[in-house]
Amino acid sequence: MTRADGPLRVLVVCRANVCRSPLARAVLRSTLGDGVEVVAAGTHAPVGSPACSLVRARVEAEAWIPPTTGARAVTAAELRSADLVLGADRTVCADVIALLPAARPRVFTLREAGPVARIALGTTRDATRPVGARELVRRMPAARAIAWHADVAGATGRRRRGAGTTQPEGARWDVADGHLEDLAAHERTIDAVVAACHDLVDVLARVLDEESAARS
């Protein structure tokens, strides 16, 4: 069961917990501050392994908060307590949901979360009071339906114009796992994680700032 008070708890999950999820945790922790508690884990983690060299280099270059623990396996207990679960791709999300089916409404891909949060914020705006972070997250499942409808409609329009794509439906929401591929693919993965995190931060930071101001 998620908590009703305290910092918003975000759980980031990838396959091995040595590349995508520790990087996302570093970005989110460093940019969102104390208003959000961020942890990372893997569905098939080589327990104790350190974050990969590209992640460590990027974190150091950006002066983000570095990972302090090795790879660890995601548990049903932490899925149960998380307000928001971010999977690196749809396969990871499916593995997470298989571990705890009740978590399904709170599970989003990392790339999906920012656009969905933005839609949720737009549908909850009330000039008389700020939108709380937990309220925003609670409304994200309904907002996801809007985002996916727009995605499917856009893909249909592109096909009708003869501008189809070889990507399967929904693939654009994934951050591909380039960790074991060549350097270029690995660097694309690093950049994609950072971009997806900043997209979500853009929404969450505004909500947290408004929430903090309302308490002052």
> Which domains are delineated in the chain?
8-215 (3.40.50.2300)
For residue 215, name the pLDDT band (cuts at 50, 70, 90): confident
Output the average pLDDT for the chain. 89
Task: Specify the range with the lowest mean pLDDT, choosing from 73-77, 107-111, 130-134.
Answer: 130-134
The string of pLDDT tens digits covering residues 80-98 is 999 999 999 999 999 999 9
11 beta partners: 39, 85
In contact, 57 and 212? CB cutoff 8 Å: no
Given this model, what pLDDT does residue 6 score? 85
- In the predicted structure, residue 127 carries a pLDDT above the cut 70: no
Examine the pLDDT at 206 and tell me if it is beyond 80: yes
- Report the largest interatomic distance among the alpha carbons of the chain, rounded to a whole angstrom: 54
Average pLDDT over every residue of 100-115? 97
CA gap 149, 159 in Å, rounded: 15
Report the pLDDT averaged over residues 135-150. Answer: 87
User: What integer pLDDT is reported at residue 128 of this predicted model?
Assistant: 57
> Residue 146: what pLDDT?
86
pLDDT at 142: 93
Q: What is d(CA 17, CA 24) in angstroms, rounded to the nearest whole number?
A: 10
Q: Give residue 44's pLDDT.
A: 98
Q: What angle separates helix 20-32 from helix 53-62, to the nearest 10 degrees?
A: 10
Choose among 50, 109, 110, 44: nearest CA to 73: 44
pLDDT at 213: 81
Per residue, the 3-state secondary structure of 73-112, as one string, reads ECCHHHHHHCCEEEECCHHHHHHHHHHCHHHHHHEEEHHH
pLDDT in the model for residue 65 = 96
Contacts of 65 (CB under 8 A, 6+ apart): 26, 29, 30, 59
